[in-house]
Chain A
């Protein structure tokens, strides 16, 4: 444990004392501030407009909206039965329609104005509340933080092995497994700390420049159970989702770094991270069952009204898939690092 803490603190010190880290963090901050400026200008523009224009389909009640989506669903089912539309295994149309019905029925029953609700990861042309702003910025920040964690993991593992500095560390009385876990934890913690610090900055920015009257966030699970949560709970939920994402990405980078050089360890996870989403969307439309397993790793999709990536799969299946993935990666990384020559 003492060895672990020593290596962990030294690794964190190494990250936070490097110029590259601070340059990257400041670039993320600047980019996000530019985005903030554009949000603010759109928000100011909307402020002077008529409410009915801003809110789009204003006027219809929640019950009417629920009825509208029920009719749409009926039509869709008829089309599937007649063979005009082919139903896929990972069927988004049906799930989305069911989710909309669930949300509007819930609003009708509880007397909630549906326009005051937002969903995670969707931006409407409604005026932005401070909590909308923070959830949006958190997602933007973590998109960059995940890239940063790939860079750090590739540098601290494949990089140090390749340039020879790891040799010096390995000839100290420290177990290889301790070195691996401590480096892994340090990359995870320093990335998450950066993400959290930036989120706190944007919470302050949001409270200062945007409408502080909070809107609420609606979550629909795979069985169309509707939950309405506090926007700050939504931020915490997002942080938890990104913690899982960063962890999976770091593990994958370490895994790749065991086999290839520094450049490969950086490029392969980065390309997959940046383009896997688009590739997954293409595969997703094929409706093949294995794609469901892959998209199950994208937790955020489970918490938006898009619903579970595959019919009948719930958030529990996603937890299971993630745990299996994590266990497999950790074991492989450990074995590869422990049993290999590190020249």
Chain B
């Protein structure tokens, strides 16, 4: 955020608006989901030492999640982006019930996790961190074991899923002999084999080759399009988020800093861009723009920086020329996703 500010000559307050980082209210996404499916409401979690954990009010510990609230719509592909230690995995573990939050609720399709855990988990397929299996057993044995825990699945169904994730040739080998990518594929197979309504994937494309990444991407899209599966996934791979997700949440040190739609991400800037105008009368230009459009401006020497909402930069140029201001240079600064990620998650 600050980096971007300095580069463009804006003060901090201006950049809060640029990044859409002006408090919790705006973080729940500029486009509200059509039908609510998953609701995370004010979830907080602090990891404490075992004995200190007995006393909920005791101070100290590592804050993993700080009042995170999210809403995911039915059939949405929702991404979670953030640096290491941001709380992505903890959030996913709270959703899947592995970590018990200190406060807040998680609701899926009207089912509260604490009260209706059984029904809740029936709808969920999850792959958490690097999938770990019984290494001395075959991939098939592991899938069969997990399917039985789920209540049993026909062999044919498991076979089809194995084929779908591209593991048919090695499914009878011991998991201990699998590569990282193959484990990820097996992890994906166990998550989707019972056809869940809600798929939670934690870094599903780590360790996959380009072909594998494309396959996973296609698979997630296919699941959503054919079965209406809602997908929540976390990743470090920004490009993947941009192409796959309908919306992306940015997490930083346990706090949700922003939720952006794909359109916003694709435009790099979202609906806010920064205009840099070098002209002979920057102060007059600033007053003019402020009066006519209500945009925030800042003058530095002969340069004028304007925070523009929407895409009417051409109109601003026209207004300046019509008012007799000679414009030396006129440039629109857009941010890459990487910049946005760095700023938001700083």
Docked Cα-Cα span, A167 to B202, in Å, equals 13
Find out whether the CB atom of B149 lies under 8 angstroms from the CB atom of A165: no
Q: Is the interface of A mostly helix, strand, loop or mixed?
A: helix
Residues from chain A with Cβ under 8 Å of B117 in the complex: 173, 175
- Contact present for B121 and A172 (CB under 8 Å): yes
A312 CB within 8 Å of chain B: no
Whether A168 pairs with B133 at a CB distance below 8 angstroms is yes
Would A167 and B128 count as touching, CB distance under 8 A?
yes
Which of B1-9, B93-101, B282-290 lies on the face that meets chain A? Answer: B93-101
| Chain B 74-96 interface mask (CB, 8 Å, partner A; 1/0) | 00000000000000000001001
Cross-chain contact A6 with B132 (CB below 8 angstroms): no
A168 engages B98 (CB within 8 Å): no
CB contacts (< 8 Å) of B124 on chain A: these are 171
A7–B148 alpha-carbon span in the complex (Å)? 8
Whether the pair A170, B97 counts as a contact (CB closer than 8 A) is yes
Count of A-B contacts judged by CB separation below 8 Å:
68
Q: Mark B103-141, 1 if CB is under 8 A from A, else 0.
A: 000000000000001111110101011111110100000
State in angstroms the CA–CA spacing of A51 and B23 once bound together: 97
Q: Name the A residues within 8 Å of B11 (CB-CB).
A: none
**Do the beta carbons of A259 and B50 come within 8 Å of each other?**
yes
A49 to B126, CA, bound (A): 73
Question: Known contacts being A168-B190, A343-B93, is A174 close to B149, with CB within 8 Å?
Answer: yes
Q: Enumerate B207-252 residues with CB–CB distance to A below 8 Å.
A: none
Task: Name the residue of chain A whose CB is nearest to the CB of B124.
Answer: A171
Given the complex, which residues of B lie within 8 Å of A341, measured CB to CB? 47, 93, 98-100
Residues of A within 8 A of B130 (CB): 164
Q: Answer yes or no: A339 CB below 8 A from chain B CBs.
A: yes
Contact partners of B154 in chain A: CB under 8 A: none
Asked if B151 is at the interface (CB within 8 A of a chain A CB), the reply is yes
In angstroms, Cα B124 to Cα A69, docked, is: 74
With A167-B128, A171-B128 as given contacts, are A10 and B149 in contact (CB-CB < 8 Å)? Answer: yes
Provide the residues of chain B in CB contact with A18, threshold 8 Å.
136
For residue B38, give the distance in angstroms from its CB to the closest CB of chain A. 15
Question: Is there contact, CB below 8 Å, between A172 and B132?
Answer: no
Q: Indicate if A324 sits at the interface (CB-CB under 8 A).
A: no
Which of A165, A167, A173, A343 is within 8 Å of B121, CB to CB?
A173
Q: Once the chains are docked, how many angstroms separate the CA of A175 from the CA of B47?
A: 23
Q: Which residue of B lies closest to A172 (CB)?
A: B149
What distance in Å separates the Cβ of A23 from its nearest Cβ neighbour in chain B? 13
Q: Is B150 an interface residue (CB 8 A)?
A: yes
| Chain A residue, CB-CB nearest to B128 | A167
Choose from B99, B119, B120 the contact partner of A343 (Cβ within 8 Å).
B99
* A173–B148 alpha-carbon span in the complex (Å): 11
B97 touches A168 (CB 8 A): no
Nearest residue (CB) in A for B133 is A165
The verdict on A164 contacting B132 (CB below 8 Å), with A341-B99, A342-B98 known, is: yes
B interface, CB within 8 angstroms of A: 47, 50, 53, 93, 96-100, 117-122, 124, 126, 128-134, 136, 145-146, 148-151, 190
- Besides the known contacts A340-B53, A341-B93, 9 further A-B residue pairs in the complex with CB atoms under 8 A apart: A10-B149, A164-B130, A168-B133, A168-B190, A173-B120, A173-B122, A174-B149, A175-B117, A343-B99
